[in-house]
Amino acid sequence: MDNSAGDHSAGTGVVAAGIRRSFGSVEAVRRMDFTAPAGEVTALIGPNGSGKTTLLLILASLLAPDAGSVRINGYDPVANPLEVRAGIGWMPDTLGTWGSLTAREILVTVAGLYGIERSVAGVRAAGLLETVHLTDFADKPARVFSRGQQQRLSLARALIHDPSVLLLDEPASGLDPGSRVDLRALLRRLADEGKTVVVSSHVLSELDEMVDGAVFVARGETVKTQSLADAGAQERWYSIRSLNTGSLLRQVDELRIPYRQRGGADRPEVQVRLAGETAAAQLLRSLVQADVAVTAFAPAGGALEETYMSLDADRR
Ligand SMILES: Nc1ncnc2c1ncn2[C@@H]1O[C@H](COP(=O)(O)OP(=O)(O)OP(=O)(O)O)[C@@H](O)[C@H]1O
Q: Tens digits of per-residue pLDDT, 68-85?
A: 999 999 999 889 888 888
- Residue 92 CA to ligand 1 centre (angstroms): 13
3-state secondary structure of 203: coil
Rounded Cα distance between 18 and 149, Å, is: 37
Average pLDDT, the chain: 88
Rounded Cα distance between 104 and 312, Å, is: 44
Q: Kindly state whether residues 146 and 289 are assigned to the same domain.
A: no
Residue of 23, 93, 308 with the most ligand 1 atoms within 8 Å of its CB, for mutation: 23
Q: Kindly state whether residues 201 and 240 are assigned to the same domain.
A: no
Q: Kindly state whether residues 20 and 147 are assigned to the same domain.
A: yes
Residue 5 forms part of a structural domain: no
Model confidence at 5, in pLDDT bands (50, 70, 90)? very low
pLDDT at 14 over 90: yes
CATH number of the domain within which 260 lies: 3.30.70.100
Specify the number of domains making up the chain.
2
Rounded Cα distance between 306 and 158, Å, is: 31
Rounded Cα distance between 272 and 289, Å, is: 18
Query: Sheet harboring 14-23: ordered strands across?
Result: 67-72, 14-23, 26-36, 221-227, 213-218, 41-45, 196-200, 165-169, 88-91
- Residue 1 CA to ligand 1 centre (angstroms): 35
3-state secondary structure of 72: strand
Nearest 5°: CA angle at 191, between 212 and 185? Answer: 85
Q: Which amino acid is residue 186, in one-letter code? A: L
Flag whether the pTM goes above 0.80. Answer: yes
Q: Kindly state whether residues 48 and 137 are assigned to the same domain.
A: yes
> Across residues 162-184, what is the average pLDDT?
90
- Residue 243 CA to ligand 1 centre (angstroms): 49
Rounded Cα distance between 128 and 156, Å, is: 6
Q: Kindly state whether residues 169 and 38 are assigned to the same domain.
A: yes
CATH number of the domain within which 40 lies: 3.40.50.300
Atom of ligand 1 lying closest to residue 170 CA: 27
Residue of 50, 57, 207 with the most ligand 1 atoms within 8 Å of its CB, for mutation: 50
Q: Kindly state whether residues 140 and 45 are assigned to the same domain.
A: yes
Residue 198 forms part of a structural domain: yes
Residue 7 forms part of a structural domain: no
> Across residues 269-285, what is the average pLDDT?
92
**Each residue of 29-62: pLDDT tens digit?**
999 999 999 999 999 999 888 999 999 999 999 9
Q: Kindly state whether residues 264 and 238 are assigned to the same domain.
A: yes
The boundaries of the domain holding residue 252 are 234-314
* Residue identifier of the C-alpha nearest atom 27 of ligand 1: 48
Residue 6 forms part of a structural domain: no
Q: Output the pLDDT for position 316.
A: 53
Domain boundary residue among 189, 208, 228? 228
- Residue 51 CA to ligand 1 centre (angstroms): 6
Rounded Cα distance between 171 and 158, Å, is: 11
* Residue identifier of the C-alpha nearest atom 4 of ligand 1: 23
Q: Kindly state whether residues 21 and 42 are assigned to the same domain.
A: yes
Residue 4 forms part of a structural domain: no
Atom of ligand 1 lying closest to residue 217 CA: 21
Q: Kindly state whether residues 217 and 255 are assigned to the same domain.
A: no
- Residue 38 CA to ligand 1 centre (angstroms): 27
Q: Output the pLDDT for position 232.
A: 64
Domain boundary residue among 177, 204, 228? 228
Alpha-carbon distances, residue 130 vs 104, 156, 189, 207, 238 (angstroms): 11, 9, 16, 24, 40
Residue of 26, 58, 168 with the most ligand 1 atoms within 8 Å of its CB, for mutation: 26
pLDDT at 205 over 80: no
Domain boundary residue among 208, 228, 248? 228
* Residue identifier of the C-alpha nearest atom 2 of ligand 1: 23
**Each residue of 217-252: pLDDT tens digit?**
999 999 989 887 776 677 888 999 999 999 999 999
Q: Kindly state whether residues 31 and 128 are assigned to the same domain.
A: yes
**Each residue of 176-202: pLDDT tens digit?**
888 888 889 999 999 999 999 999 987
Q: Kindly state whether residues 220 and 250 are assigned to the same domain.
A: no
Rounded Cα distance between 197 and 39, Å, is: 8
Q: Kindly state whether residues 136 and 47 are assigned to the same domain.
A: yes
Pocket of ligand 1 (CB under 6 A): 23, 26, 28, 46, 48-54
